[in-house]
Amino acid sequence: MTDSVLSAPLSRRLFLKTGALVGCSIAAQPLMTTVTFAAAPGENRLVVLILRGAMDGLDVVRPVGDPAFAGYRNLTLQAGAALPLTGIYAAHPDLAPLMPLWAKGELAFAHAVSTPYRDKRSHFDGQDILEAGTGRDVPDLTVKDGWLNRMLQAMPGLSSETAFAVGRDEMKVILGRAPYASWAPDARLQLSSQGRRLLARMYQDDPMFRSSAAEAIALTDQMAAAPAAMGGGSDGMMMAAAPATAPGAATDTAPDPLAAFAASRLKGDTRIATFSISGWDSHAAQAGVLKRELGALCRTILTLKDDLGPVWGKTTVIAMTEFGRTAKENGTGGTDHGTGGAMLMAGGAIRGGKVYGRWPGLDEAALYERRDLMPTADVRAYAAWAMRGMYGLDKGLLEKTVFPGLDMGTDPGILA
């Protein structure tokens, strides 16, 4: 046995996770000062959804017109009749609630996309790279912030609520030194005024606790002052007393609480919101997994649309996942970790009714490592073109700073 078979140094991920993420939230900013500059970020809204666990792009946006597809997938064929989209593509039947958006040109997909991550197929490295927005095929430890934050760093006229991380999941995509807000719809904080004063004094020399508490108090006050504004169009969903501990507890048509909260902020000063939908890792019984997850995704998008009202017209939602899954289903009614996959776009600001991207084909020789869908585009390019179109960010900045090493290529024209 030689150690050279495995010539790795330390666990890179451990160091990425523990060493890098010191600054957080608005820690670097003076407490709760809402600074508004002359030039505001405009009226366009961007919602970034991170789909954790690796969504199977080949099942969600099925290349039914590719002659090789049927040979790989019993489970997909059994899961129900696909909904015709365009060209060779058809949507998973559980996306039916979104089909009216497709018809109106408010829903689109990009296929055969991936981050630059290759080969190790680890969810956790994959998500770290997706959220860091880096250009290497392994985690880049020199980049300590997320790409949404680097976009914010370049935007003039930020206020502390221009960007919002919603919910309780760690959102590395927005970590960094630019200010952003963070709250969960069902979070509460009740303190006497003396309690507040003493708490503030107690935390004064501890920036991490000081800034988080100050933000929690400020948001609580703001919501107490304007409960109606917070209720959005969802009948006060965020007033539910307890966090939902069980995913899938919501009924099929119930509005999604995170989306309702995000919409309530986006109707105010917030322009950028991010949260995650977890649980896509479908190694077994994939049909059931996707029924649950696509149900959640549909509820999220429809809640955003319903609650945003006219603002939906200025909104772009992009949903991205860490990688795709194997072309061929595995032996247990699921799929294992792969490479190329699909992303979803929605909103009144997009040019929908299209499946973007170049299809690589599914013949075994056309697959990545004879196993996975071959990526033909960098998923970051779609996010970059969305940011360029919505906020006028310079192409060079996007390719060097926000997404290091990205070649945006030609404009796919995803915005209406």
Partner 1 sequence: MPSNATIAAIRFGCGLSPQAPAPADAAAILAGLADPDQALADFPGPDPQQVWALGHQVTEHNRDARASVPGAAEALKETRRQINVMNDAALLNFVQRGVYGASGFRERLQDFWTNHFTVVGKLARVKAIPSVFADQAIRPHMTGRFTDLLTAVVTHPAMLIYLDQITSSGPQSRAGERQKRGLNENLAREVLELHTLGVGAGYSQTDVRQFAYLLTGLTLDNKDGQFRFNPNMVEPSAETLLGKTYGGPPKDKLAQINRALDDIALRPETAQHIATKIAVHFVADTPDPGLVQAMTAAYRRSGGDLTAVYSAMLDHPAAWAPPGAKVRMPFDYIVAALRALAPPRNTLAALRPQQIQRFVLTPLAGMGQPFQQAPGPNGWHEDSAGWVTPPLLAARIQWAMAVPQQLLPDLPDPREFVQVALADAASQTVIDAARQAENRREGVGLVLASNDFNRR
Rule CB under 8 A: which of 367-396 touch partner 1?
A: 369, 371
Per residue, what are the HEC states of the chain? CCHHHHCCCCCHHHHHHHHCCCCCCCCCCCCCCCCCCCCCCCCCEEEEEEEECCCCHHHHEECCCCCCHHHHCHHHHHCCCCEECCCCCEECHHHHHHHHHHHHCCEEEEEEEECCCCCCCCHHHHHHHHHHCCCCCCCCCCCCCCHHHHHHHCCCCCCCCCEEEECCCCCHHHCCCCCCEEECCCCCCCCCHHHHHHHHHHCCCCHHHHHHHHHHHHHHHHHHHCHHHHHCCCCCHHHCCCCCCCCCCCCCCCCCHHHHHHHHHHCCCCCEEEEEEECCCCCCCHHHHHHHHHHHHHHHHHHHHHHHHHHHHHEEEEEEECCCEECCCCCCCCCCECCCEEEEEECCCECCCEEECCCCCCCHHHCECCCECCCCEEHHHHHHHHHHHHHCCCHHHHHHHHCCCCCCCCCCCCEC
Determine if 251 is a binding residue for partner 1 (CB under 8 A).
no
Nearer to partner 1, 232 or 412 (CB): 232
Q: Residue 322's Cα: distance from chain center in Å?
A: 10
Q: Which is nearer to partner 1, 215 or 293 (CB)?
A: 215
Q: Which of 249, 331, 365, 410 binds partner 1 (CB under 8 A)?
A: 331
Backbone angles phi, psi at 343, to 5 degrees: -125, 160
Binding residue for partner 1, selected from 31, 77, 169, 250, defined by CB under 8 A: 169
Using the contact rule CB under 8 A, the part of the chain among 18-26, 221-229, 348-356, 397-405 near partner 1 is 18-26
Q: Answer yes or no whether residue 22 interacts with partner 1 by CB under 8 A.
A: yes
Q: Which is nearer to partner 1, 58 or 82 (CB)?
A: 58
Q: Which stretch binds partner 1 (CB under 8 A): 90-98, 150-158, 166-174, 349-357?
A: 166-174
- Of 106 and 293, which CB lies nearer to partner 1 in the complex structure? 293
Q: Which stretch binds partner 1 (CB under 8 A): 38-46, 117-125, 296-304, 387-395?
A: 117-125
Among 29, 115, 160, 182, indicate the residue that binds partner 1 (CB under 8 A): 182
CB of 343 to partner 1, least distance (A): 21
* Contact range with partner 1 by CB under 8 A, out of 150-158, 200-208, 225-233, 307-315: 200-208
Task: Look up residue 5 and give its two tokens.
Answer: 């078979």
Choice between 64 and 166, CB closer to partner 1: 166
The span from the CA of 318 to the CA of 303, in Å, is 15
Per CB under 8 A, 337 contacts partner 1: yes
Binding mask 135-164 for partner 1 (x = CB under 8 A): ------------------------------
Binding segment (CB under 8 A) for partner 1, from list 19-27, 106-114, 303-311, 380-388:
19-27
Query: Using CB under 8 A, which residues numbered 267 to 326 contact partner 1?
Result: 278, 281, 283-284
Tell me if 252 contacts partner 1 by CB under 8 A. no
Residue 28 has phi, psi (to 5 degrees) of -80, -5
Backbone angles phi, psi at 50, to 5 degrees: -100, 120
Query: What's the closest the beta carbon of residue 132 comes to partner 1, in angstroms?
Result: 14
Shortest distance, position 349 Cβ to partner 1, whole Å: 29
Where does this chain touch partner 1 (CB under 8 A) — which range of 61-69, 106-114, 190-198, 264-272?
190-198
Rounded to an integer, what distance in angstroms lies between the CA atom of residue 79 and that of residue 93?
Answer: 8
Is residue 330 involved in binding partner 1 (CB under 8 A)? yes
If the CB atoms of residues 3 and 252 are measured against partner 1, the closer one turns out to be 3
**31 is a site residue for partner 1 (CB under 8 A):** no
Nearer to partner 1, 210 or 388 (CB): 210
In the complex with partner 1, the residue whose CB is nearer, 268 or 333, is 333
